Each structure stands twice: as C-alpha cells, then as structure tokens.
C-alpha cells in the first residue's frame, strides 16, 4: 500500500506532500483563486507525473534494446475542459526529445509502448476521456 501525507504549510492553500521515503513536493493554487505560488498546481503535477512515468518506461525500453540515450526531455502541453467543475484534462500532447545513439524506429516504438501499454498515468488519463498524443524527435549522435 502507498502512504502519502499532505499537510498545509503556507498561507491558505499551500501544502507539502510527502511520500513514505520522505520525498517532498509543494503544492498551491493560483493567486487568482487565493494561492500564493507556494508550489505546483495539483493538475500540473498530474502532467509532471505523466512525463516521469512515461520517461522511465521509454528509457527502460531503450536501455534493454542497447540504445545509448545521452539526454531525454519531454515537453507536455495540456488543455482542460472549460465551463465545468471538475475541469479534466481533455487533450494532452507529449513531445519526446532524445539525444544519443538511438534508432528512431526503436524510440518511436518505446514511446508507443509506454503510452499504450505501460504508463499507469497515461492509462488513468485516457480512461477519464483524455485524448493523449505524442511524437518523438531523435538527435542522433555518433
């Protein structure tokens, strides 16, 4: 079982979340809704989790395929519903930017496997009706 503790630490809405290992993250709402920019917005953190989860999958798959990944960056853009409460993510686009001695087809397949099979965050979002798209760019190095 996973255990997380979320405790108010700052102003009206500034929280600190901690996992069982002591890793901490600060959360807050926007100043427009009473926050003070103490931390990440919770819905933005969901996109960060998506990037981390999928990134781990992709790098693990490529490592097993003996691809030499020197650098990895994932750019995520998301759009939420308008005029509803709660406002869910409806469109998310992920751009995987990889550098190293990497075969483009293997990188594309690794991304596809992550999004469509292995990434639990992606599966959670898509089950909620989010359209999740992605592309990959490889800067090949000798």
Tell me which residue has tokens 């009706």: 129
Q: What's this model's pTM, rounded to 2 decimal places? A: 0.93
Mean pLDDT over all residues of the chain?
96
Q: What is the pLDDT of residue 142?
A: 72
Three-state SS at 97: strand
Q: Which residues contact 62 (CB under 8 A, 6 or more apart)?
A: 69, 98, 102, 106, 107, 110
Provide the pLDDT confidence category of residue 114 given band limits of 50, 70 and 90.
Answer: very high
Here the tokens at position 72 are 């990895």
Question: 82: which DSSP letter?
Answer: S
Q: Is the dihedral of CA 104, 78, 119, 117 positive or negative?
A: negative
Question: 115: which DSSP letter?
Answer: I
Here the tokens at position 19 are 């996992």
52-105 per-position pLDDT tens digit: 999 999 999 999 999 999 999 999 999 999 988 889 999 999 999 999 999 999
pLDDT at 14 over 80: yes
Specify the CATH number of the domain 42-140.
3.30.300.20
Q: Which residues contact 113 (CB under 8 A, 6 or more apart)?
A: 57, 61
Q: What is the pLDDT of residue 85?
A: 87
101-110 per-position pLDDT tens digit: 999 999 999 9
The residues of the chain that CATH labels 3.30.300.20 are: 42-140
Provide the pLDDT confidence category of residue 26 given band limits of 50, 70 and 90.
Answer: very high
pLDDT at 140 over 90: no
Q: What is the pLDDT of residue 41?
A: 97
For the chain, percent of residues with pLDDT exceeding 70: 100
Query: Exposed/middle/buried for 106, CB within 10 Å: 0-12, 13-18, 19+?
Result: middle
């Amino acid at each position: 079982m996973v255990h997380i503790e979320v405790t108010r630490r700052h102003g009206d809405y500034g929280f600190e979340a901690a996992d069982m290992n002591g890793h901490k993250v600060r959360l807050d709402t926007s100043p427009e809704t009473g926050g003070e920019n103490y931390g990440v917005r919770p819905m933005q953190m969901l996109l960060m989790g998506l990037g981390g989860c999928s990134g781990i999958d992709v790098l693990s798959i490529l490592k097993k395929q003996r691809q030499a990944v020197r650098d990895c960056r994932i750019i995520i853009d998301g759009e939420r519903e308008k005029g509803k409460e709660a406002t869910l993510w409806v469109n998310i686009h992920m751009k995987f930017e990889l550098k190293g001695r990497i075969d483009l087809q293997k990188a594309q397949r690794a991304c596809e496997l992550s999004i469509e099979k292995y990434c639990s965050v992606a599966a959670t979002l898509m089950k909620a009706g989010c359209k999740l798209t992605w592309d990959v760019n490889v800067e090949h190095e000798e």
